[in-house]
Amino acid sequence: MATGDIIVFADARQRFEARAIRELVANFVDSTVGAVSGELLLDGAGGVGESVGLYWKYEKWIRKSESRLGSVVGATGAIYAIRKSLWQPLPPMTILDDVYTPMQIAMAGHRVVFEEAARAYDQASGSARREFARKARTLTGNYQLCQLMPRLLVPTSMLLLQFYSHKLMRLAAPIFLLLLFAVNVAIITSPNAALFYSATLAAQLMFYACVAAGAALLKRQRKVRLLNFAYVFSVMNAAALVGLFYFIVGKRDVWVR
């Protein structure tokens, strides 16, 4: 029903800066640009929120780098825009429209760029449980993307290599972490185990002790940045395993309410 040349997408909760839409639309002067992602700024109020905010800063650095290289892999769902002529209806039950739509546009030969001057604001989640549920939804959506767009599984271009690095390797990370621990335990039981493997196992055990300590501190509303970050890192990786389970059993109603 939209009648303009540009469609701007937003979420219900976030607040736009006054010039945000102008900054988004300015990028379409370049005829090679098909979609523009804005920047979402999170206000983390300590604990989980602060650690999530730190992760989000890293995520935005990746997106800026991708934009300089050619195209961003996906967009910030809270603030992005596309040329109306490039819109295609979403498949039923699509979870990550903010990745599906930009990837369709990029694979059609148009650029998807990141505009950090187009800003929206939100509050970082202060609840580990809520952040876990949000991350499980996002990662379930990444698995679904590979089902909806099988071309993503064949990295025949720089764009698809970026998708592998940014999205798919993230899904594999918790599996690698579990394998790393299991293999280290198996090696250390060998009579010929080197001191190096004892050190790597001790380092892993120390990390998981930090995770447990971080969880305990957050329950008491106390903040130790390193321990809190270790806990949130583990929560996000555990969410990837839950996302895989949701995808396998066909669960698609994964929205955080």
Q: How far apart are CA 141 and CA 125, in angstroms?
A: 20
pLDDT in tens, 209-253: 999 998 888 777 777 778 888 888 888 889 888 888 888 888 777
Q: How far apart are CA 189 and CA 198, in angstroms?
A: 10
Strands 6-10 and 15-16: unpaired
Using left for φ > 0, alpha for ψ between -120 and 50, and beta otherwise, residue 221 falls in left
Give the CA angle between residues 235, 168, 209 to the nearest 5°: 25
Whether 90 is in a domain gets the answer yes
11 vs 28, more confident: 28
Q: How far apart are CA 183 and CA 179, in angstroms?
A: 6
Minimum mean pLDDT range among 30-34, 42-46, 55-59: 42-46
pLDDT over threshold 70, residue 256:
no
Domain count, the chain: 1
Whether 87 is in a domain gets the answer yes
Q: pTM (2 decimals)?
A: 0.80
pLDDT over threshold 80, residue 190:
no
**pLDDT at 26 (0 to 100):** 97
pLDDT in tens, 109-135: 999 999 999 999 987 666 677 778 888
Closest CA to 72 of 80, 81, 62: 62
pLDDT in tens, 79-91: 999 999 999 999 9
Whether 257 is in a domain gets the answer no
Whether 1 is in a domain gets the answer no
Q: Which residues on neighbouring strands pair with residue 113, listed in sequence order?
A: 36
Whether 232 is in a domain gets the answer yes
51 vs 78, more confident: 78
Whether 254 is in a domain gets the answer no
Whether 256 is in a domain gets the answer no
Contact at 8 Å (CB) between 100 and 148? Answer: yes
Tell me, what DSSP letter sits at residue 127?
A: -
**pLDDT at 54 (0 to 100):** 72
**pLDDT at 122 (0 to 100):** 87
Q: How far apart are CA 29 and CA 39, in angstroms?
A: 19
What average pLDDT score do residues 50-60 get?
Answer: 74
Q: Band of the pLDDT at 60, cuts 50, 70, 90? A: confident
Q: How far apart are CA 220 and CA 209, in angstroms?
A: 17
pLDDT in tens, 147-166: 999 988 888 888 888 888 88
Contact at 8 Å (CB) between 34 and 82? Answer: yes
Strands 111-123 and 6-10: unpaired
Whether 255 is in a domain gets the answer no
Give the number of residues written for the chain.
Answer: 257
**pLDDT at 149 (0 to 100):** 92
Range of the domain at 215: 6-249
Q: Band of the pLDDT at 184, cuts 50, 70, 90? A: very high
Q: How far apart are CA 13 and CA 40, in angstroms?
A: 12
